[in-house]
Each structure stands twice: as C-alpha cells, then as structure tokens.
Structure 1
C-alpha cells in the first residue's frame, strides 16, 4: 500500500500570507501542496496561474506541487506550470481535444500526469490511458468552489477506480478532492484513496495568531487514516 498523502488546497488559504500558510501546513505534517486552477470558463470561478506556483518555489517550498487544471483547453498552460515548478499536473479529459496527447505533453515537460473525473463523469477514458497516468483524481464535489460537502456516491467510484489501478499493476496514485474532513477521511481511505485534498478543513483550522494551528487538524486526519489501515 502507498503512503497516505495529505494535500491542503491553497484555494482555502490566506493569499495575503500564502507562502507562510503553505510552509506552516507542511511543517505540521502535510505532504503535498494542491493547486486548484480555474478559468471562469470550464468552471464558474477564476483562481490562480503559474506565477503563484513559481512564487511558492522561490519562497522555498520544496514539497510536491499538485496542479489540478480546471481549464479548457489545457495544452497551452501545461508547459508554463511545468516550468513554474509543478510536480503533478492533472486535467479533466473532457477539457482536452486529445487526452493521450495532453498526458504525453505533461510527461514530456518533466511532470507526472493524471486525469480528473467529476462526480458524473464516466471512467471509460481510463480504458485507453492507464499507461500514461501517474495519478487519478476523483472529484467528490462539483468543481468550481471550495467548502462544498462530500457527495456520498463517489465512494462507489473510488472502489471502482481502485480495482482498475490494482488490476493494471501500475504505480498510480488515487486522489480525492472535495469535502474531505476528519469525520469522513477514514471511509474514503478504506475505499481505496491514498491522496487526500483538504482545503477548508486544514486552512480553516485554528487561529491565525497560532504558528502551530495546523498541527492538531493534520494529526487528527492522520489518526483517522491509521484507523482505516488497522
């Protein structure tokens, strides 16, 4: 079994103090920095671009940066995020004219590649792409805004994707994004996920004046993950 990764989404962070917030979350035990990139076209919101990724690298962030592209089209921006310091780049297959080509473009630019599936998106895109995928991200909310509640039927989708990954024998991470909290992360992990995006659950915790305010929430998430493997 893969190590569990906790990936706070900076969408819920204080952008006036973004470098500090990210460093504190990583110091408290987070593993990955998750970027939600929205274009006000594919999804109804506008967020961040490669310059923010580059700024965090220049700030000293060395942890993996996991870039989730909720944009259409995707190919134009992939090299920019790779140059800015992205580690993983994932995109929605319906936002690409040529899924295989987009996946290969990510790898050609030195990053690990992945596909993202909305709650209602079928998984048939995986039938022809597993050999070019390093991560599968399942959305457990409809993308566009942070702070939404987990959609329960996505648990069944997690089971199905886990079966596909195991049957392939490939080294592919299974990530979940949307409404992940202490009270549901154990069930999500038991279904087969190993990478957990948690935005408001992490960056909404504690008081801004407390430099260790993320310690308790990340420990609580870890404790629940340990129970899932017990």
Structure 2
C-alpha cells in the first residue's frame, strides 16, 4: 500500500485528489495539509511514502516544505503537482529534492501513474515539462559537466553521462560495464554530491 500525504491550500483540490486516490486499491491517503508548515509536521508524524506537493501556498511554500521534509526523511518521495510549469518553479523544486513534476491539468490516470512511479523510485514528469528538461540537456551537451573533487575517474565518466540524460542501460553500454555497476556508481555519486535523487544529480553535474 502506497501511503500518500496531500498538500494543497485549496480544499476542493485536496478533496478531488482524495476521492481519486481512495478509489485505488493500492493507494491510501494518510493525511492532508493546506500549507507547507503543516506538511512538514504531518510528514514527520505520518511517514508517507509519497507527498503530493503544491508549490504556491501561504506561509511556508511547497519548495521550502520539500527541502525541510527531505532533510528530515530523505527516503520520502515528493511529487510536485502545480499549475505553474515554468522554469522559475520547476528547477527550484527539483533542486529542493522533488522527484517529479506534474501539472494540475494532467489526466487522472497520469497523476495516479505518477504517484505509483514516485513510490517505486522513478521520476514522473508531465510531457511538456519533460520535453523542456530534455531540450535543456541537449543544449548542455556542448558544455563540460561540473568537476567534483573526490570522485574516481569512472565516477566522473558516469556523472558526465547522467548529465546528458542517459539511462543506466545506456551508460552501461557506453562504458562497457554492467548495469549493476552503474547503479553502484550512481549511488556513490548521489552520496558524494549530496543529491537526493537522479534528477538532482544531473542538475548538479550541469551546475544548475
């Protein structure tokens, strides 16, 4: 069962999300919050697997709340659900540690799939947001990735390919190593760069 905490300052939005989630046999809404401060408190008490997080809220906003939640419990998956898909909201949210970014006009099936993928360790994005991330990665390929002290030569190789947006399988093929070895290197890179997820690691490598 996927334990979900809903965070949005609009009661109708939360009610709709709860109805959608409650109809699923594998998703349980364990709590609701209407601001970032309450979200941090409830996340610490209820220990949700996934926090569905709005960004613009009175008082403590969603980006600040995301950072505080993950600072206390890094294993929590924070999935942003917002009306605002511009870069001014996207990149700060990802830098705070959000694992995915969905827009509120997404179909219900996309939201449910996003919750399940987030719980499974994936990074779900709305198509238009993902397209923008890919375009930025393509533009960045001509730029050298950030050099980090304390990394092995192989870790530097893996970091550069993560920055290009390659999957574990593609990195393994490019470097002629096993996928398991790639996963080990990425885990080490996330630890050494203090990156809570793969998206944040890629942004770190690109200096975003």
Task: Answer yes or no: same fold by TM over 0.5.
Answer: no
User: Higher relative contact order by CA 8 Å / sep ≥ 6: 1 or 2?
Assistant: 1
Structure with greater Cα Rg: 2
Task: Give TM-score, length-normalised by structure 2.
Answer: 0.40
